[in-house]
Structures are given as C-alpha cells and as structure tokens.
Chains A and B, each alone.
Chain A
Amino acid sequence: MLNINKLRKTDHAIISIGSHIPILQSMLDFEYLAKYDQPSLKAIIATGRKYIRMFFGKKEVLIPVYSSVSDLPSNIRNKITLFINLSSARRVLSSTCDVIAEFPNLMGGTIFAENVPEKHELELYHYSQKKNVFVVGPSSVGLLISNKLKLGAIAGTQAKQLVESQVFTPGSVAVFSASGGMTNELIRLTSQAGKRLSFSLSFGGDRFPICTPVEAFLAAEKDTDTTHIIYFGELGGYDEYELADLIKSKKVTKPVIAYIAGTISDMFETPPQFGHAKAMASRGEETSKAKAEALRRVCIKATNSFTEFLSLVKKIPAKIHNIAIETRHASSLRIIENRRPSLFINSVSHDVGGSVEIVKQDLLTMVKKQSYGWIVASMLLGKPVKSKELAEFFDFVLKLLVDHGPYVSGAVNTMIAARAGRDLVSSLASGLLTIGPRFGGAINQAAQHWLDGVGRQVEAHVFVEEIAKAKKRISGIGHRKYRIDYPDPRVKAIMAFTGKLKYKKYTSFALGVEKVTTAKKGNLILNVDGAIAAVLLDILSEKEQCSDAELKELIDIEFFNALFVLSRSVGFTAHYLDQRRLDEGLFRLTQEDVVYV
C-alpha cells in the first residue's frame, strides 16, 4: 500500500528499468534543487553501455548501467527502495515482476509505458498487492512528494517547470488525476493559487490502473501533511462510485474537490473513445454527469465545469510559505540552465589548478616514492596498485620484453623507416604498427584462453581438443627453439613470481595445457607470452582482487598487450637511434630476395 509518511522518512535508492534521459535527468534536477547530497538514482537497466552520464547540478555523475536486474551487485540490490519502469509496453509485465521479486527492500514504483494489455495490468495488480508493493501506472507520469521525491515525468521535465510549480515547499494539498497532463496542470494551478502540494500522482488513463483512486485517497487520508484532496476524474469506469463509498463509510474524511470531465460525450451519437483508454462511457453510470452526481450525494464538491472547479481550488485555505526558500532556487536554476556536458571523462590523472595528480597521488611525491613498475601498473589499471607483487612483476616484464634482437618484424620496420630518412616518431610508429595477431599480440590472446578455460572449468585435454577441432592454434603455446627437454629460461624466471601465490588457478591451467600439448610435440611448450598472461591473471585475481568480469574487461581493452607495446617501444627506439648513428642509407631488396610466382 502507498504510505506517504513512510516514503517521506526513507532515504531512497532508485532503479530505472530502461532509460528515458529527459525524465531521469528531471528527477536528478529535482533532488539537486531539493538540496540532496547525491542522486537517489543508483542503477539503470539497459543494454549497450556501462554507465550513463547525467548532471547533478553542474557536476556530471555516472549512473551505472546493468543489462538485467540479476546483474546488480548485492550491495545495491539490498538498498533499492523504488523503481521507475520506462520500458516498452510489451516488456512491462515481465520487467516489473522481476523488480518486485528481486529487491527485498522495495517499497514500490511507477510505470510509464502506454498500451499495456489489461490482462497484464491485472496480473501486476494482484501480484503487487500480495507482495505489499505499490505500483503507480501504467501510462503514468508518476509520483511526486514535495521536496522529497519525484518518480517520473510528473511536474515537468524542465527544471524551470519544477521551480515555477513550487514543488520544493511542502504543502497540504494532494492532487490526483488519471491524466498526466492534467496532473501537471493541476499542480501548476494549485501553486498559482498560492497553495502548496503535499504529494501528487497520476493513475494513468488505462482501464485498470494498478494504484487505484481508492488506494490514493486512502494514502491521502493517512498522510499527516495532507489536508485537502483535488481530484480530476473522467467519464468511463466506476472509480467514482467506489470513492463515494469510501466517503460515505468515513474512511476518507478530508475535504475533496473534484471535477469529472466528459460532459462533451453527450454530443456524440454513440459513445466515443476519448484520449485515454478508459475514457468511454458505454453505460449510463459511466458518464461524467452521473459520476459527479454520485460524489455530490456524499457531499463532495464535484463539478462538471472547470470554472467552478477552479474557484473551489482557490478557496482552499493557504498556509504561509517561506518566500526566502522559494527564491533561493533561482540561483540553482541558473546553474542547471547554463551547464553543458564535458567532452571527456578521466580516471587516470588530474590537472586541476596546475597541480598534477596521477592515480590520485601528487606527481612528484609519486616519482620519489614509487617504482616504475608500480607507476605503470597503476596507470594501466586506472587505480593505485595494492600489492607489491604486481608492481614487481610489472617491473620484471617491462625489462624482460624490452627487446628481442633485430630480426623481429617491428624492429625490421623501425630500421627500414630509419634508413629511409624518417624521423624518430615515424620510425617508431612504423615498428609499433606491426604489433598484432602474429607479432607481440599473443599475451592478450593467451590471457583470453586461460580465463575462458578456468571460467568454464573445462579440463585441459578437452580444451586443447576444442581448439584443435576448430583448426586454431593456442596462443601462448609453442616455441621455435625451446622444447620440453630444453626449457626457456625466461619462462622459468616468470614462473618464479607464482611463489607467493596461493591458488594459481590460471598458471595451473596453463601448465595443464602445456602437459597435453608437449605430449603431442616437444616444442609445444608454454612460452613467454603464455606464461606472462597466466601469472599476471593470477596476481590480478589473488593480490588485486579483480573479479572475473574485471579480468574479462582488461582483456577486452587489450590491457595485456599494453605491457608489450610499452616495453618494446624502448627496443624500437634504440634500433632507430642505432640506424641513424650508423647511417647506412636507404634499404632496398634485390632481385634475389624475391621469388616470382
């Protein structure tokens, strides 16, 4: 059940199903203007991105995006108290059921979509009642509690509208309508008449709104702030008869002012369908005149004329408002209206007011205190490295990969460019451009293998078979020269770093694969690329507490290859300088160097 007092007392965490940026942004603007420290919107369910950038005042904030409700981390999941469902009509039933089932502290939410089938509305109605969760909608602009909560487009999507409607001054008038447009119209009208809102909601124009007028009226009755109820009803349906019963049985005692629209329906030969799904008077009791009369019989001020309705609203006694509070929003509004989105966001380094920080440490302090391995690892991860092991491993690998002689394609390219008279940067770039699937890019691919194998808990021999069947090679396995009986000393040095690790699941898996492959052929050993990938995965997992998802992301963004590119740049630069010093002149192949076919 809708409990406004409880909603006012709670610190909310909101989840949005789907994204409709103007609506969500207006919710953040509302909270900024209501002097919240941070937005209540904690997560958005959508696809294709990791977060959505939104404004909180002038500042931009990142709202995390998850592809499904079940992907939410438990710390957020347990906090969620409210939802706003902005998904399409066809997804409303399943997504709302998911939300109600998944969040233990959920109080309720609103549904925006139009054209939700009646049957789905009723299933949600019964389900939400059983779960004791309130649901406003479908086809609702939402729920508003003055200076506390805006859950939907209600009261407008521009900050200017919110300020003009004075929804930051708690008042005593509750406003209800099926119509979203009229809800906002009445909010505006109430504030223009010098009154202030306690809360407001729009049921939505469908035949079976999940939060019924009865539930809203009872919520207003129980709400300590509300003294008056303004209701805009329409022809169609029988809601007003239930409201009349509530009043007759004294379950609602607060004064009600009502307008039941739709006298125009008398003009039509056969009852027409008006703008809302339920706005059709098939039977006599459903006409606006009959319904207004039913309300008047229980002494509600119900009119069929808007003029009369307006004058009744104006007569509601107004409290005195603090004008100083209401005018202070003008400056906040200027901030909102003049903001613009940033062109970039950055988490690696800062340059604010001339003082440079790298991963949140002052540049000079860091230079004095940290090793080069620590700095590189921290910057590539985008956050300070926690463990000594990772810093040391980086240090080692950066040295290890620095060069591998002049024959490799990157070195050759660099030398050719240098001999063609090109400058340092061009020659270096020419060398770097050879790095890819056949040269230097194997660390990332090997990491992909080990993560995949361990993640699926597949046995090493099955894994090898799978790849063999697909007629592919395993990156990180195989060497031209070294064999099982003639091991690569560099691999041994890399493996030494696993000494301080506990589980070594990636290294163990890689070694398991090596055992299978070397049984087939002696030179199919774990090579430098494969070993670096495995040990690095283990250190990241055990010493830096990276989750599987984080490791996968590091692979996706080519983190593992970055290590090679960085280190080998030293080698290529050296080859460039070397060629320039020796000044050999332009390199050219001869006829003997090419076979014609």
Chain B
Amino acid sequence: MKLQVLSYESKMARVKLTEHKAKSLLYDLLGYSYHGVSIDRKGLSQYAHTLSKDKKYVVKVDQGIKKRMKQGLVKLRVSSYELRDAIDELAKKGYDQFIIEEMLPHNQSDERYLAVERIRKGMLITYSKKGGIDVEEHASEVKRAVIPYYRHPELGSGSNRDPDIHRDDVEQIAKELGIDINILKQLREFCEKYFVSFLEINPLVVRKGKVWLLDLAIEVDSTAHFFIRDGWNENDIVTEKHKTYEEIAVAALNKKSQAAFTLTLLNPNGSIWVLLSGGGASVTIADEIHNLGFGKQLGNYGEYSGNPNAEETYLYTCSLLALLLKSNQRRLMLIIGGGVANFTDIRITFKGIIQALAEYKNKLKKKKIKIFVRRGGPHEFEGLTAIEEWLKENKMYGLVSGHVLPLNEVVGATIKELRSPPSRG
C-alpha cells in the first residue's frame, strides 16, 4: 500500500488560520504594519537577528487552541535570550507552531472584546468594553448586534455597500469600544474579502483611538480557497496535534478526491471499529454504539460519501485496517455500515473494500476479526453478494444484510458477538 502525505487539512467547512497569518492579513487591511514572527522549533535561529536584546516578547502556541492563557500555552515578558527555552518548554507539551510578538504593556482597563460571526441574517457582532481573559465573568457587559452584510447579486460586486449597514448599531459599537467607526467597516470588509466565518479579538487594546489586536482567532471557510487570490491558502490552516499517520493519509485522500473521506482515531485499543458511509448514517451507527454503552470500546469514527471509486475506497479501507490492527484487543469487530445510498455505487465501493480486506487477510485472521455489514443502494445485491462470499470463505462472517435490516441493528448484532464467548477453531 502506498500513501502519500500531503496535508492535514480537510476540504470542508470552517477551519482555523494561524494567528500569525490572521494578524498579517488584518493589520495589513487596517493599514498598520505587523512585526510578529511565526516559528517552529527549528526556525528560531533564522529569525534571531530580527529580535532586540532590549525588548520583551510574548511567545504563544499558534495552533488554534482556545484559552491558551489558562492552559499555560502563553509565555509573557520573555527576553530574546530566553526565547529558546520558552519555546522548548511549550514544545514539550506537544506543540510545534509558535508566534513571537513584542510585549505591549497596557492597562487592563484598555482591554476590549470584539467578535464577528457569520450567521444567516448577517454579521453577528459580539462586544464588550471589559475584555481580556475574564470576559466571561463580565457576562452582563457583553452585547450583541447583527449587521446585515447581504449584498444583492444583481448589484454586482462593485456596488456601494454602505446603505446596508445599520448605522446606529455600528456607531453604538464604535462608541462603546472607543474605536473609529471605520475599523468596524474594515472588519466587515475583511470578513467578506477573505471568506472569514468567525473572528475573535480578545483582548482588543484601545488607546487614544488606536488599536492593537493582542490575541486574534479567525475561522475561514475552507471551501472558498478557490475564490481567494491573495490572502490565505491551505498552508495557513492550523495543524492539530497528535494525528496518526493513517489519519493524515485519509485527510490527504479526502483532499484529492471528488468524494469525501474522514477518519478519526478515538481509542487506539478499541474492540469495535467502523467503516461507515454517509454523514448522517455514520453518526447514527456511532450513536447506537455509544447509546448501548460501548462507546469506550469504539476505536474510530469516520465516513466516506459522494460515490468514491474502487481505488479510493481501497485506500481508505487500508488506512482504517492499519489502525485497527494496532489495537491490543484480542478480539476485534468491524462494522461496515451505511444507509440506503442515493447514488453511491455499492458494487464498486465494496470491490475496493474487499480488495483491502484481502490484502490484510492473514493479519485480520490472527485477530479473529468478525465483520458485520449493513448497506443499501445502487447495485446493492451485487455488492453484498460479493462481500458475503468473501467473508464466509475467509471465516470472518458476522452478518451481511441489505436495506431490510434496520440501520441500527447491525450494532446490536456486533455487540452480541462481542459479548459471546469466542468460538473455537
């Protein structure tokens, strides 16, 4: 099996940008210059000359982690000669991406909170004049307003958008935070231009009308990368820590394919493993395992959908089986499950699954694996017949059923087998 590692990132939905990238883009749009340095453990020496001996710095983990301060992932007042140690210390906690910025001395009373989220009606602005790490303790100060950002497609992209703004709301926010109204307009423009779905500045330091974005977190819509010419790209999306080789491989497969694939390891030593299809059905089956009290034994979550071809399904199954075979459990159960597909071809996807099972046949037999199948859809009969024959021939048969069996009952059958004493021979 050959797998190429491309990138961590999945191609769907809201993803976090690194703070360094987010700040570079936003400061640039606001017309400020930004001197923060993005760094990994190896990268420090090449930036060392840009750092001043007289100044104090802040070092933060830059991997999209919430509440960094409270988790001890931020080092304050670091001298340039202490930077290496500060980074090493954070790296020991399992991180590899950091941001270094000059320390900005300020009063806590200058700290504001400002967040923007894309919702159906417009941009939801959440703000408070008492920002900082304890913003939640001043919940009564937190206010909300919605600015409709909607622009009529018939008006074209160059039209004057200002009439849409609820001027009163914007003025009120600006006044309360003590900032120029134009900053709010620029934030809105920023969200539109870079397909930002969520933006949070906490604290926003305001002094005499000038602003500093001390901590900035943004989520962009990763599906929009095609429409972004200059700005962020896939390399600016934060990397999560602790990913297995197999999960990375599946993320890479997902990125390359027309179809969709996800794989998340839950319990490396789980006894129930799942090869599921369909966003809804996969959650239903996983729920059933959880609801029946076997959630802790579930090795993974994941799903494929959108009619992948046999080759892609083969690669996906290989990744899953590689994880499954590392489990230290003496008996393993695999559920190949899914609803009644609309257009995913069962014969073709099952061809890929069988090919992968055949490749790992001997190892799977040693683990005394039993496989339970429930699936429906186009060419259901051909696909199910093929896998039933293969499982029986290789003594891994637990159950094979089409749409007649209710979706969740494949879980019941699997758990029954797991509870029963292993058969001899």
**How far is B334's CA from A479's CA once the two chains are assembled, in angstroms?**
84
Which of A116, A157, A305 contacts B342, CB < 8 Å?
A157
List the 8 closest A-B pairs by CB distance, nearest first.
Answer: A179-B280, A275-B279, A181-B278, A182-B280, A185-B339, A277-B13, A153-B342, A117-B224
**How far is B223's CA from A276's CA once the two chains are assembled, in angstroms?**
13
Within 8 A of B (CB), among A197-253: 205, 207-208, 212, 232, 234-235
Q: Does B43 contact A (CB under 8 A)?
A: no
Contacting pair A115 B11 (CB below 8 A):
yes
A-B contact pairs, 8 of them (CB 8 A): A115-B223, A116-B223, A125-B120, A184-B342, A261-B280, A268-B264, A273-B10, A274-B303
Within 8 A of B (CB), among A74-101: 89-90, 93, 97, 101
Q: Does A158 contact B (CB under 8 A)?
A: yes
Within 8 A of A (CB), among B365-420: 376-379, 403-404, 406-408
Contacting pair A181 B266 (CB below 8 A):
no
Q: Could you mark each residue 193-232 of chain B with 1 if its beta carbon is under 8 Å from any beta carbon of chain A, else 0? A: 0010100000000000000000000000101101100000
Contacts A23-B343, A179-B280 known; 16 new A-B pairs at CB < 8 A? A115-B12, A118-B224, A122-B150, A124-B153, A141-B343, A156-B377, A161-B340, A179-B278, A180-B278, A181-B305, A185-B281, A205-B279, A234-B283, A267-B290, A274-B262, A277-B12
For B224, the chain A residues whose CB sits under 8 A away are: 117-119
Within the complex, the shortest CB–CB distance from A527 to chain B, in Å, comes to: 52
Contacting pair A264 B289 (CB below 8 A):
yes
Given A264-B290, A273-B13, also A182-B284 (CB < 8 A): yes
Q: Could you mark each residue 168-196 of chain B with 1 if its beta carbon is under 8 Å from any beta carbon of chain A, else 0? A: 00000000000000000000000010010
Contacting pair A93 B197 (CB below 8 A):
no
Given A273-B262, A310-B406, also A122-B226 (CB < 8 A): no
Given A115-B223, A263-B287, also A275-B11 (CB < 8 A): no
Within the complex, the shortest CB–CB distance from A310 to chain B, in Å, comes to: 6
Q: Does B282 contact A (CB under 8 A)?
A: yes
Q: Does B286 contact A (CB under 8 A)?
A: yes
Which of B153, B290, B298 contacts A263, CB < 8 Å?
B290
Contacting pair B227 A127 (CB below 8 A):
no
Within the complex, the shortest CB–CB distance from A344 to chain B, in Å, comes to: 29
For A97, the chain B residues whose CB sits under 8 A away are: 153-154
For B10, the chain A residues whose CB sits under 8 A away are: 273
**How far is B341's CA from A192's CA once the two chains are assembled, in angstroms?**
16
**How far is B266's CA from A153's CA once the two chains are assembled, in angstroms?**
33
**How far is B383's CA from A394's CA once the two chains are assembled, in angstroms?**
60
Contacting pair B407 A185 (CB below 8 A):
yes
Which of A22, A89, A124, A279 contacts B223, CB < 8 Å?
A89
**How far is B305's CA from A118's CA once the two chains are assembled, in angstroms?**
20
What's the A-B contact tally at a CB cutoff of 8 Å? 205
For A305, the chain B residues whose CB sits under 8 A away are: 287-288, 291
Contacting pair A141 B342 (CB below 8 A):
yes
Q: How large is the interface on B (under 10, 10 to 19, 20 to 34, 35 or more residues)?
A: 35 or more
Contacting pair A181 B338 (CB below 8 A):
yes
**How far is B283's CA from A164's CA once the two chains are assembled, in angstroms?**
25
Contacting pair A188 B403 (CB below 8 A):
yes
Interface centre among B262, B339, B404, B406 (most CB of A within 10 A): B339
Q: Does B306 contact A (CB under 8 A)?
A: yes
Interface centre among A97, A130, A183, A188 (most CB of B within 10 A): A188
Within the complex, the shortest CB–CB distance from A335 to chain B, in Å, comes to: 19
Closest to B12 in A: A277
Closest to A272 in B: B264
Q: Could you mark each residue 1-39 of chain B with 1 if its beta carbon is under 8 Å from any beta carbon of chain A, else 0? A: 000000000111110000000000000000000000000
For A115, the chain B residues whose CB sits under 8 A away are: 11-12, 223
For A273, the chain B residues whose CB sits under 8 A away are: 10, 12-13, 262
For B260, the chain A residues whose CB sits under 8 A away are: 114, 275
For A125, the chain B residues whose CB sits under 8 A away are: 120
Contacting pair B152 A275 (CB below 8 A):
no
Q: Could you mark each residue 255-266 of chain A with 1 if its beta carbon is under 8 Å from any beta carbon of chain B, else 0? A: 000010111101
Contacting pair B283 A264 (CB below 8 A):
yes
Contacting pair A179 B264 (CB below 8 A):
no
Q: Does B151 contact A (CB under 8 A)?
A: yes
Q: Does B268 contact A (CB under 8 A)?
A: no
Contacting pair A280 B13 (CB below 8 A):
yes
Closest to B122 in A: A122
Given A122-B150, A127-B152, also A304-B281 (CB < 8 A): no
For A22, the chain B residues whose CB sits under 8 A away are: 343, 378
Contacting pair B279 A126 (CB below 8 A):
no
Q: Does A362 contact B (CB under 8 A)?
A: no
For B406, the chain A residues whose CB sits under 8 A away are: 189, 306, 310
For B12, the chain A residues whose CB sits under 8 A away are: 114-115, 273, 277
Q: Does B112 contact A (CB under 8 A)?
A: no
**How far is B11's CA from A264's CA once the two chains are assembled, in angstroms?**
23
Q: Does B118 contact A (CB under 8 A)?
A: yes
Closest to B302 in A: A275
Interface centre among A126, A154, A183, A234 (most CB of B within 10 A): A126
Given A180-B342, A208-B120, A304-B287, also A276-B150 (CB < 8 A): no
Interface centre among B223, B280, B295 (most CB of A within 10 A): B280
Contacting pair A262 B283 (CB below 8 A):
yes
Within the complex, the shortest CB–CB distance from B9 to chain A, in Å, comes to: 11
**How far is B282's CA from A262's CA once the two chains are assembled, in angstroms?**
10
Interface centre among B12, B151, B279 (most CB of A within 10 A): B279
Which of A208, A212, A275 contacts B305, CB < 8 Å?
A275
Contacting pair A177 B280 (CB below 8 A):
yes
Closest to B411 in A: A306
Given A141-B342, A275-B260, also A118-B153 (CB < 8 A): no
Q: Does A537 contact B (CB under 8 A)?
A: no
Contacting pair B290 A276 (CB below 8 A):
no
**How far is B402's CA from A164's CA once the two chains are assembled, in angstroms?**
13
Contacting pair A123 B151 (CB below 8 A):
yes
For A411, the chain B residues whose CB sits under 8 A away are: none
Given A127-B153, A267-B295, also A119-B282 (CB < 8 A): no
Contacting pair B339 A184 (CB below 8 A):
yes
**How far is B280's CA from A178's CA once the two chains are assembled, in angstroms?**
8
Contacting pair B340 A184 (CB below 8 A):
yes
**How far is B288's CA from A99's CA once the two chains are assembled, in angstroms?**
43
For A155, the chain B residues whose CB sits under 8 A away are: 342
Contacting pair A267 B282 (CB below 8 A):
no
Q: Does A307 contact B (CB under 8 A)?
A: yes
For A164, the chain B residues whose CB sits under 8 A away are: 403
Within 8 A of B (CB), among A145-182: 153-158, 161, 164, 177-182
Within the complex, the shortest CB–CB distance from A274 to chain B, in Å, comes to: 6
**How far is B14's CA from A313's CA once the two chains are assembled, in angstroms?**
35
Which of A89, A153, A181, A188 contacts B279, CB < 8 Å?
A181
Within the complex, the shortest CB–CB distance from B138 to chain A, in Å, comes to: 19
**How far is B110's CA from A227's CA once the two chains are assembled, in angstroms?**
58
**How far is B266's CA from A35's CA once the two chains are assembled, in angstroms?**
51
Q: Does B97 contact A (CB under 8 A)?
A: no
Within the complex, the shortest CB–CB distance from A143 to chain B, in Å, comes to: 13
For B279, the chain A residues whose CB sits under 8 A away are: 178-179, 181, 205, 234, 274-276, 279
Within 8 A of B (CB), among A281-307: 288, 304-307
Contacting pair B280 A232 (CB below 8 A):
yes
For B239, the chain A residues whose CB sits under 8 A away are: none
Q: Could you mark each residue 331-349 of chain B with 1 if its beta carbon is under 8 Å from any beta carbon of chain A, else 0? A: 0000000111111000000
Contacting pair A275 B282 (CB below 8 A):
yes
Given A117-B221, A119-B221, A207-B13, also A306-B284 (CB < 8 A): yes
For A267, the chain B residues whose CB sits under 8 A away are: 266, 290, 295-296, 298
Q: Does B95 contact A (CB under 8 A)?
A: no
Which of B152, B221, B286 contacts A126, CB < 8 Å?
B152
Interface centre among A155, A180, A263, A268 (most CB of B within 10 A): A180
Given A117-B221, A153-B342, A161-B377, also A275-B287 (CB < 8 A): no
Closest to B406 in A: A310
Given A179-B281, A189-B406, also A123-B221 (CB < 8 A): no
